[in-house]
Amino acid sequence: MEQQPIVELKNLSKTIGKKKIIDNLNLQLFPGQITGFLGPNGAGKTTTIRMMAGLMKPTGGEVVVEGQSLSDHFEETMSKVGVIVENPEMYKYMSGWKNLVHFARMNKSISKERITEVVEQVGMQNRIHEKVSTYSLGMRQRLGLAQALLHRPKFLILDEPTNGLDPAGIREFRTYLRKIAVEDGVSVFVSSHLLSEIELMCDRIAIIQNGQLINIREMNQVEEAHYYIEAQPAEKASELLIAQGLFIEASGTGFIAKVEQNQIPAIIEAMVSANLQVFAVQPFRKTLEDQFLEMTGGGQIAESHKK
């Protein structure tokens, strides 16, 4: 049975003045899946997120959550959405627990048991009764995540969630996010400028440029096979690889060649027969950063949701 999307953007558009900021965006987001949202500065990421979070009305199209349009069923639809923006606001003079109790009062269906449950989900049992002013940035981010999960959202929007965190904090946050997506079947949508982090955190990515989605791809999508080959003299190695019918590009002191694994033994044999010194033959995978720059023509990734 085909999995049903939790969230659908249907021809979502936004015009401000005479400028079309978002142009007919169509995207489906599925349960248990973390989708990364990338785009150069001014591509329309923030506007898209604001419309998805109910903070801005679209000019055209709609955001649909579990079959209901956000515009037509605002309160009911938003009750299924959790949002974390960069550095969530907390009452620092209160404990983490009291902060969660305060936010829980806004929704009568949230019990003390549920608060305990989310505290355990984000691994804060040991510190939850201490004042927020004593928390590190990573702890405050986890408390923000706990707060966003209180009402059991089906859809979680995160805007620059790891901004300012150290590598250990980022890894921790990533672990809890993955756990929540898988265990609770939540669809997670993450906007970030940290491409290396998106690569580790997400199941797939959606790339926006000039208000249009230009690419949606699975992170485990199989690319064409490439190998890094280094041999001396380099000029002779280059000639030999081209003679083998390979497309190559220079990289450092070697070459990136588009080549299948089963061709490698013959290539090594040919290089050895030609008295070349072979230093390296290893699989090469383009980073998400390389792919992003190729797709956007070198556009700068947005550094913050405020830009």
In the chain, what are the domains?
A: 7-218 (3.40.50.300), 226-284 (3.30.70.120)
Residue 248: pLDDT band with limits 50, 70, 90: confident
Residue 19 has pLDDT above 50, yes or no: yes
Burial of residue 184 (number of CB atoms within 10 Å: 0-12, 13-18, 19+): middle
Q: Of 106-120, 154-168, 264-278, 287-301, where does mean pLDDT reach its minimum?
A: 287-301
Question: Do 65 and 6 meet the contact criterion of CB atoms below 8 Å apart?
Answer: yes
pTM: 0.74
pLDDT of residue 34: 93
Amino acid at 108: K
Q: How many whole angstroms separate alpha carbon 295 and alpha carbon 164?
A: 27
Residues 6+ apart with CB under 8 A from 177: 34, 145, 158, 161, 188, 190, 201
Residue 304: pLDDT band with limits 50, 70, 90: very low
> pLDDT tens-digit profile of 57-97?
999 999 999 988 988 888 888 888 988 876 667 888 999 99
Q: What is the mean pLDDT of the chain?
A: 84
